[in-house]
A and B are shown apart, each in its own frame.
Chain A
Amino acid sequence: MSQFQIYGLASVLIFSIGLYGFIVHPHLVRKILAMNIMSSGIFLLLVSAARRDMHAIPDPVPHAMVLTGIVVSVSMTAFALALTRRVVAATGVAALLWMDAPVEAAPIAARNDEHSRDLDRVADPVAADRDDIHLSV
């Protein structure tokens, strides 16, 4: 088993763990974390694929692509986190709501009315942060 195959196996594992987390967890911050784990797997693959031949000079193009990718992934994370805070401010829950949400339907609806009156007067983020802990899976 060559060195690249070990790195390849590791990056596929990391990507799959991220993908599983992205699908399974409804909490938006967990989804953002999962997306970052997925991109870490992709970056690991690109960096290791640049040096498959251990005696040659590593290919600089994938390395530059990873640098670019990191900045794009940071931008994406920042925007996703801001969107999450907006969702929490508007609905009180750090998850995407479904019409037929069975258990939380009543309290969420109540919160919704309370917040929809002044959607632009945003809720206190700290209080909102505390609320989203109660979100059950």
Chain B
Amino acid sequence: MLKLTAIWLTHLLPGLLVTIFGIFLLQAVIALPAQPVGLTTEVQRELPNSGVTNPVTAVLLNFRGYDTLLEIAVLLLAVVAVWSLHVVPLRTGHARYVAETPVLAHLVRLLAPVMILVAGYITWIGSARPGGAFQGGSVLAAAMVLLLLASMIGIRPRQRWPLRVVAVLGLAVFVVIAGGTLVVGNQFLEYPRNQAYALMLVLESVLTISIGGTLALLFFGAIPETASFETMNDEG
């Protein structure tokens, strides 16, 4: 009897409440008008002025650039918060974490160069097609995590500043460009028409490296014991 009450309280009651909540949510979703009142026409009208032809990239880096600026700040904040928790870093190349199979090592050797190339391509194509800094950065981060897991690169005791530079780079360049738009007399993050493409390309490239590095740093879940990526062949 006691057990039944416990299950009722811990599982059935939340299930019932969530179901009711879900029904209300569903009603709200179904009630959305079939003809959306969006910003499609505004974006399409201003697209020729944005410097790029992919509307999503134009929204991310030009029309609503401050969203992306704050998002990079959130990413940096996550690294700072994780580093301030003093948890034990992941020991890469340690037998307890990595199954030492030849398959992983060979696969990573084949994949890593292709992944870095793909990361660059995805970032580059972002001006015209789906792609951009975030997609490219996550491919780059995946390549780095694979390399770390296969012990192809490791982190060794040295200064911590290269890691800090990677983590801060994206936000720093973004803030400099945003400040520059104010200096030349435009609105905050309002790029000059002629330089819009060049500025966004620089921004995208820097963001790709910074996002890729930051995500790989977050994978450690702590301050890496050391500072610079280097080969770990001599550690066996």
Contacts and interface: CB of A to CB of B under 8 A. Distances in A.
Interface of A: 2, 4-5, 8-9, 11-13, 15-16, 19-20, 23-24, 45, 49-50, 52-53, 56-65, 67-68, 70-72, 74-76, 78-79, 81-83, 85-86, 89, 120, 122-126
Contacts of B22: 12-13, 15-16, 19
B68 interface: yes
A18 B130 CA distance: 29
A16 B85 contact: no
B32 interface: yes
Interface residues of B, number: 50
Contact of A53 (B36, B78, B82): B36
A63 B221 contact: no
Nearest to B24: A12
Interface in B98-142: 132, 134
A78 B58 contact: no
Secondary structure at the A interface, as helix, strand, loop or mixed, is helix
B25 A12 contact: yes
A82 B85 contact: yes
B79 to A, nearest CB: 8
B36 A79 contact: no
Contacts of A45: 29
B160 to A, nearest CB: 17
Contacts of A2: 34
A62 B59 CA distance: 10
B32 A76 contact: no
Contact of A61 (B19, B64, B219): B64
A123 B39 CA distance: 52
Nearest to A81: B221
Given A2-B34, A24-B11, A67-B56, 13 more contacts: A19-B21, A52-B35, A53-B35, A53-B36, A59-B38, A61-B38, A64-B60, A68-B67, A78-B82, A82-B82, A86-B86, A89-B87, A126-B96
B78 A75 contact: yes
Contacts of B68: 68
A50 B218 contact: no
Contacts of A82: 81-82, 85, 87, 221-222
Contact of A8 (B29, B60, B85): B29
Given A68-B67, A82-B85, A122-B88, A12 B26 contact: yes
